[in-house]
Amino acid sequence: MAAATRWSFSTTSGAAAAKAEEIPASDNVPMMTAWRSRPNALGKRLFMFLALDLAAIWLSFLASSSYQLANGSARPCRDALRPCCREELSLFKALHGQARLCQKGDNFNQRVVRVTGSTNIVRRSKIAEIDIAAYPYLSALVERQIAAWPQHEPTLATSLGNRSLEVMRDTEASSELVTKIALHHFGTIDKICHDYRYFCENMILEAELFFRRHGRYERSKFSEAVRDVYSKPDVMEKYMNGLLLSGVFWHNHAGALTFYRSQYLPMLPEGYRHLEVGPGHGALLYLTATDSRSGSIVGWDVSEGAIAATRRTLEVIGVSDEVELVRQDMFDAPDQRDSFDSIVVSELLEHLEDPLKALRSLIRYLKPGGRILVNMPANSPAPDHLYLIDKPSEMTDLMKAAGFEIEKNQLFPMTGYGLERCLKDRLTINCVAVGRRPG
């Protein structure tokens, strides 16, 4: 394999000015001869400053551009030449590992998953310092992702290197599920690695740049999300595959998953009746189905296609018999009042125009004393995110306005950033809270 090229960017504040040296002419030395006799003075200085200026212009172009794939090549969007601001440059640098080239790796062995941290790619990388050989499914995914996208390795090292042993164990379990799903659907995990790169570069980064420039999400109406995202099968496939791997690779997503398993589920009563609205790939349904204390488990979605996709996934990971999937509008289920001990809405409310209305509907479906888990990201632009919360307290305020008592909440900042920095610079935070219906 050819060695990966590493890119780094730096900026220098302030201004620099070049002052031309005056070289006196004489009768014996013509001016042009005097100029040539000082090759290390004015000429090289001007060349250096010209090079710096060109580099600054190119960096601004990169930082303020959104790249889209068009017939295998990249093209800048119409506002690519817009001067970048410091926030955009910082963002571009932070996400650069999620927005570069992707090369197709070797086919993954469908029958045996035996890649460990001792393989060449992982051994040569910073990942080796984390010693992920104890997590074979995670090692396999990291191996293929680095092979497909070498520039992403520092981001993976940062994310995995800051996880507790408990989170790492859950990440390994998630990696096993992701591997089974990818092999069943595509016969290889290289496909989802490629789609994850596209998801980061052409979807998330573009949405982030819009958010930095305008301070809002690009779309605010559900009809716009349908038009631009949901009605396009090729876009949806890349989007869903990208989300699938983000649950493994992104620090905030992995932390929220562990919170659900280790803190939320133990709060529920023995034999609890459970509902998840918008279950997506079904990772949380899987954790619920494998909880020995769970009773009946139901998943609702308004889309028949989404229900079918979740059902296929649950069949692959072996829990389809334990879960009932129903096409159901959460705003219109009068026969389900006071029915559930537990309701989960994880990364759903930001896709709605009116999340308060949704929460007011859901509290009616809980039994008195029943609990809800809400996971809603703040400052998290994506192609189909409609409702923006700027501060984590805005989510708990919505829950209180709907009638819930807040029992517990926790914040999970994005990979590579602390909570204070995320709050200051409006970076993504997954806000997770447990609410209780009074009574």
Distance CA 282, CA 172 (A): 16
Distance CA 285, CA 176 (A): 15
pLDDT of residue 132: 80
Of the candidate ranges 12-16, 82-86, 389-393, the one whose mean pLDDT is the lowest: 12-16
pLDDT of residue 125: 54
pTM higher than the cut 0.85: no
Mean pLDDT score, 36-41: 41
DSSP state of 315: H
pLDDT at 20 over 60: no
If one compares 299 and 12, the residue with the highest pLDDT of the two is 299
195: its two tokens: 């789609």
Distance CA 65, CA 82 (A): 8
Nearest CA-CA partner of 376 in 290, 252, 284: 252
pLDDT of residue 129: 65
pLDDT at 338 over 60: yes
pLDDT band for 128, please (50, 70, 90 cuts).
low
pLDDT of residue 126: 58
Mean pLDDT score, 74-88: 34
pLDDT of residue 382: 97
Could you report the per-residue pLDDT of 142-156, keeping only the tens digit for each? 999 999 999 999 999
Distance CA 92, CA 67 (A): 12
Could you report the per-residue pLDDT of 159-193, keeping only the tens digit for each? 998 899 999 999 999 999 999 999 999 999 999 99
pLDDT at 256 over 80: yes
pLDDT of residue 162: 85
Quickly count: other Cβ atoms within 10 Å of residue 36's Cβ: 10
pLDDT at 84 over 90: no
73: its two tokens: 């090549």
pLDDT of residue 133: 82
pLDDT band for 367, please (50, 70, 90 cuts).
very high
Distance CA 74, CA 107 (A): 25
Residue 272: C-alpha distances to residues 31, 188, 285, 296 (Å): 92, 37, 13, 7
For the chain, the average pLDDT equals 79
Of the candidate ranges 104-113, 139-148, 422-431, the one whose mean pLDDT is the lowest: 104-113
